[in-house]
Structure 1
Amino acid sequence: MFRKLKRPNVLTALRIVLIVPLCLVFHSQQVGALWASLGLLAAMGLTDLFDGYYARKYNVAHREGELMDSMADGFVRLSVFLLLLSDHLIPLWMVLMVMWRDLVSWSLRFMDLARGRDEVHKRISGKINGLIQTVAIGGILIALLWAASVSHPINLLLVQLFMLAAVGTALWSTLDLLFTHKQAVKAFLRR
């Protein structure tokens, strides 16, 4: 099936669709629900790997696909962080900090599009931020799974330490984006 896939956007869309069952099954204190959540997140991770791979392999990469891939990643992270927030595992300010980074990034990309620039300026800070947030989400879910499987209380300090790493890289990446795109921001503010 995947060999014949010449439309990687299908994989990107699948990643967005898989958010729905993730939200339906997630429960921070049930072992089965946590395994299912980890499985869905692993499937989403595979769609993220393969959509870019197939876009490059079949030479069908385009700006819309790159933007949707970035937005799909953000939707997945936002969904997980909101699930953790709804279970009172992380505070609202942490969720806002990591999501503001994505909103700044998307805004700058749309500003570039509005100015006639259609290339994506990916920053190493964004790649590191995405990696740290992925590790944080995985680490939190594994910590929750361990606590649920041995009937221990959830270690909120560990959960929040993972989130602090995600918040720190989000803040760094946001500042890096704003500095890199300072001309676009200045042009916007002058209008």
Structure 2
Amino acid sequence: MNIPNLLTTLRFILVPVFLFVFFSDLPNAAFISSMIFIFAGFTDILDGYIARKFNMVTKWGTLLDPLADKLMALTVLISLTIKDIIPFWVPFIIGIKEGLMVIGGLILLKKGTYVSAASHGKMATVFFYISVLTLEFINRPLGLIFMYITVFAALFALYQYLFSFKKAGQKT
């Protein structure tokens, strides 16, 4: 197993660690769980960089890397909903968007085509991190505004990906 795949595996392990800390009575649980979330994001950036820079891209990593990211994101959103920090419809909409993305990606993969992450999706991810950190550390109302922007950006990214999926599907 190469370093990028180890980092992806670590992100899967961080999901239950995040949950344990987030819902614990530990002192500074919100801070610690936020640091776990940030660390997971950092490992995502790092594994992608290493995989591309050192030609370590694998089929395993290509499939599991986005799954690890989606699992962490939905875990954080559902956790924030359970604690009544964000409304229930936020993880619902993001979950549907991510599910559609996975289904579309699997259909294209079966046809031998792959659609990689685009700038719109990365923009939504940046807003997601900003919104979660703003909710936890800066200002909850402002964090909610960023979360709503995140939902809009995610839906816009889905719209863009649907065109990419359609175009890629027509090539096969």
TM range (shorter): 0.7 to 0.9
Amino acid at match of 2:32: A
Tell me the equivalent position of 1:26: 22
Amino acid at match of 1:125: H
Aligned residues: 170
Tell me the equivalent position of 1:61: 57
Q: Distance in 2 between matches of 1:31 and 1:115?
A: 50
- Following superposition, the deviation at residue 163 of structure 1 comes to 1.4
Query: Is the Cα–Cα contact under 8 Å of residues 11 and 48 in structure 1 kept in the other structure?
Result: yes
1:102-159 per-residue CA deviation (whole Å, 9 max, x = no partner) reads 2122111101111122x33322211111111121122222137xxxxxxxxxx4x334
3-state SS of 1:47 partner: helix
Report which of the two structures shows the higher radius of gyration computed on alpha carbons.
1
State which of 141, 144, 161 in structure 1 corresponds to 2:145. Answer: 161
1:1-191 correspondence runs (5 A): 6-27=2-23, 32-117=28-113, 119-143=114-138, 155=140, 157-182=141-166
CA 175–120 in structure 1, closer or farther in 2 if over 3 Å, else same: closer
Give the share of equivalent positions with the same residue, in percent: 28
Structure 1 spans left out of the alignment, 5+ residues: 145-154, 187-191
Q: Distance in 2 between matches of 1:46 and 1:182?
A: 31
Amino acid at match of 2:161: L
Tell me the equivalent position of 1:152: none
Q: CA RMSD in A?
A: 2.5
Query: Is the Cα–Cα contact under 8 Å of residues 108 and 168 in structure 2 kept in the other structure?
Result: yes
Structure 2 spans left out of the alignment, 5+ residues: none
Amino acid at match of 1:76: M
TM-score of the superposition, structure 1-length normalised? 0.78
RCO comparison, higher one (Cα < 8 Å, 6+): 1
Amino acid at match of 1:53: Y
TM-score of the superposition, structure 2-length normalised? 0.86
